[in-house]
Structure 1
Amino acid sequence: MARPLTADIDLDALRHNYRLARDQAPHSRSVAVIKADAYGHGALRCARALEDLAPAFAVACLEEAETLREGGITAPIVLLEGIFEAAELERVEALGLWMAVHADWQLEALLAYRPARPIPVWVKVDSGMHRLGFPPERAEAVWERLAAAPAYACDLHLMSHFATADARGSGYFERQLGLLEALAERLGAPSCLANSPATLAWPASHGAWNRPGVMLYGSDPLEAANAASRRLAPVMTLRSAIIAVRELAEGEPVGYGGRWRAPRPSRIGVVACGYGDGYDRHALDGTPVLVAGRRTAIAGKVSMDMLTVDLTDMPEADIGSEVVLWGRAANGEVLSVDEVARHCDTISYTLLTGVLPRVPRRYHGASGTDPH
């Protein structure tokens, strides 16, 4: 019998979340962001599930785009960080990719290159995130140079990234948006500005394109949920089972270092899942899990291959009982990956992208069921 830990991927939920993103911005086109192996969900399978809905996909680098092209994905693919060396431009052209340009050396490489067919370019402006992008005061000059080049003039977009779109009332988002709106108006430029939180909560930021990412996978990117984000459906369910049960006297410790001690006569379940599978070792005692569709909590430090949960108030739970670390249980109860992340002092992105390859992905829904 195989180890019971799996990552079940609900492709119908993925499609639901994409439609939700699209419906928040009916006058924009929504590029589906599937970088980092679709946030740990499997980029090729997710792209196939969305290819009849999404007009384009976005990835971080050329290697991720090549995987999609080799898998038969023909839709436009945006390289969100552009190229990492000038020699990559030949592959960009051959694969029919779109690309961001955020640095002078990329700009010079583009202008020196002579493609046989135009390459759509998204000019990235640093409006306040201070990672990648041209300073706003230089953006017009960059835009004008590309607009004067026949290979790039036909499909230019303005692009930026928001630092605080998940929060209300910081004022910084409005500052970034105001700068970008003024720049886009001066240039007459179509824009791609809205990430997941801006897609859900800031209609004023919706441009020619939006870039929903983590929301596609059912994680709420907002500090305070709104009516739209509450409709997100979990795509990944990290599912395992109880493999052993221990009866402990009051005061007995559990796990490395004995961090958790039984406050009363206790019943402890051992679950086949640990940090060697990608579950966060920093999970605190009290981190929620679902056992047979009911909420209980982690008791003791997470080990490499196992973790332990408190079954004292769950006499019906036994060896073989379903355990959901995040996602949807068989009875329909949902444990949000966002809630688990808060108990681990991290964010959903790290949990979802951290599920390691030894955890089998099982796909259900839009593209059929596949245990591999």
Structure 2
Amino acid sequence: MTRPAKVELDLGALRNNLQVVRKAAPAARVWSVVKANAYGHGLAHVWSTMRATDGFAMLNIEEAILLREAGWKGPVLMLEGFFSADELPLFDQYRLTTSVHSNWQLKALAEARLKAPLDIYLKINSGMNRLGFAPSRVAVIYQQLRRISNVGEITLMAHFADADKPDGVDQAMTRIELAAGEIDAPRSLANSAATLWHPHTQHQWVRPGIILYGASPSGNWQDIANTGLKPVMTFNSAIIGVQNLMPGERVGYGSRFQAPREMRIGIVAAGYADGYPRCAPDSTPVAVEGVMSGTVGMVSMDMLAVDLTPCPQAGIGSPVELWGNLVKIDAVAQAAGTVGYELMCAKAPRVPVVVKH
């Protein structure tokens, strides 16, 4: 008998979420961000459903090649650019747009032998201090790029560290405007949070990521509850065992949970080896037969326990939603002290994926 843990992907929800993005940014073109294997959803599973996008943005050259060989002919943006000069022939062959964030990349572009110029995203350090050129250097770098024959269209690019806050883009936009100066070039600034909540950052291109998959960039589902966004990923399993506890009996490794009364618990076929967070505390939300309940005890490698008090009818074989439409992934992440991004990306390869069109 097949182990019941599985992930379901609702491609209708994915199409819906792309439409929500277009309504939020009607004048901008959309880079659909599919890094980390489409945020754990599986690029091969989802990309064709996202054909209505204007372009795909990612990190790994292997995933870019997958898209090209699957038939995508539109723009592909490599968010961290090329990692060595040796990759430039592949960027040339597969016609990839590259970000440029460091001096060595300028030299590599100037010296490369390419069949045609590559479009460039010039990365501005907006104060996040990951990648990008300081604002005071951007005008000079832009002129250097324009003198390189291997460079095609140049777009100014930046990122926001705090766009989920009401005033979270203000300081970054000051730095970006300082950097852009009189440069007449398209801009791509807005991530998911800025696309939803700071429309003045949208410009020519937006780069939604987490909202395409139906979770909140702030980590709080209530922040997007009225946007029309829908969860794409549902993590399901089932109860494979039931225990009747007396008051004082304990559950799981470390005996963390102690029954306060007589109670029934269900043992669910899912654990941290499947991608469920081991650090999830007692009462992390789950749904058993559609009824909200919570976890009890430490999450094991292959199993976790849930309280059956709210659903006394539940037993062997009862379906359990670990996150999805009823149990928001943001709520599970908040309980576990992390973010929905991490839970999506943590889905283990051993968990089968069922695609709903």
> Distance between the aligned counterparts of 1:201 and 1:270, measured in 2?
41
| CA distance in structure 2 between the partners assigned to 1:361 and 1:311 by the alignment | 27
SS at match of 2:177: helix
- Where do residues 105-254 of structure 1 align in structure 2 (5 Å cutoff)? 105-152=104-151, 154-170=152-168, 173-222=169-218, 225-226=222-223, 230-254=227-251
1:352 and 2:344 matched? yes
Q: Could you tell me which amino acid in structure 2 is paired with residue 342 of structure 1? A: Q
Q: Which amino acid aligns with 1:190?
A: P
TM-score (norm 1): 0.93
Query: What SS does structure 1 have at the residue aligned with 2:62?
Result: helix
CA distance in 2, matches of 1:72, 1:305: 38
Equivalent position amino acid for 2:2 in 1: A
Q: Is 1:325–2:316 an aligned residue pair?
A: no
* CA-CA distance at 1:63 after TM superposition: 2.1
State whether structure 2 residue 50 is matched by structure 1 residue 54.
no
Please report how far the alpha carbon of residue 47 of structure 1 lies from its aligned counterpart in structure 2 after TM superposition: 1.1
Secondary structure in structure 2 of the residue aligned to 1:111: helix
1:19 paired to 2:19: yes
In structure 2, the residue matched to 1:343 is 335
- What are the superposed Cα offsets for residues 32-53 of structure 1, whole Å, 9 maximum, x if unpaired? 00010000001122111111x1
1:364 paired residue number: 356
| TM superposition shift of 1:184 | 3.1
2:273 is paired with a residue whose SS is helix
TM-score normalized with structure 2 length = 0.96
SS at match of 2:324: strand
Kindly provide the CA deviation profile for residues 239-260 of structure 1, in whole angstroms up to 9, marking residues without a partner as x: 0011111111111001011100
Listed one character per residue, the Cα deviations across residues 305-330 of structure 1 (whole Å, up to 9, x for unaligned) are 000000023111111111000002xx
Superposed CA offset, 1:326-372 (max 9, x none): 002xxxxx21100100000000011000010000111111xxxxxxx
Q: Determine the C-alpha separation between the residues in 2 that align with 1:313 and 1:198.
A: 39
8 Å contact from structure 1 (residues 184, 191) kept in 2: no
The percent identity for this pair of structures is: 44
- CA–CA distance in structure 2, aligned partners of residues 5 and 228 of structure 1: 27
Q: Which position in structure 1 is the counterpart of 2:262?
A: 265
Q: Structure 1: which amino acid aligns with 2:76?
A: I
> Aligned partners of 2:158 and 2:225: how far apart in 1?
23
What do residues 171-220 of structure 1 show as CA deviations (whole Å, max 9, x unaligned)? xx201112223433510121000000001100010011000001100001
CA contact (8 A) 2:289 2:320 kept: yes
Aligned residues: 356
Matched position secondary structure for 2:354: strand
Q: For the residues of structure 2 that align with 1:205 and 1:226, how far apart are their CA atoms?
A: 19
Deviations 1:53-73 (A, max 9, x none): 101000112122122223332
Distance 1:195 1:229, change over 3 A: farther
Residue pairs, 1:234-313, within 5 angstroms: 234-313=231-310
**Distance in 2, Cα, partners of 1:227 & 1:237:** 18
Q: Quote the residue 1:96 is aligned against.
A: 95
State the SS of the aligned residue for 1:155: strand
**More moved, 93-102 vs 143-152:** 143-152
For 2:149 and 2:354, the matched residues in 1 are separated by: 46
Partner SS for 1:144: helix
Structure 2 Cα separation of the partners of residues 337 and 132 of structure 1: 29
Which shifted more, 71-80 or 205-214? 71-80
3-state secondary structure, aligned to 1:298: strand
User: Once the two structures are superposed, what CA deviation does each residue of 1:285-308 show, in whole Å capped at 9, x if it has no partner?
Assistant: 010000011100000000000000
User: Structure 2: how far apart are the matches of 1:235 and 1:298?
Assistant: 23
* Secondary structure, counterpart of 1:231 in structure 2: coil
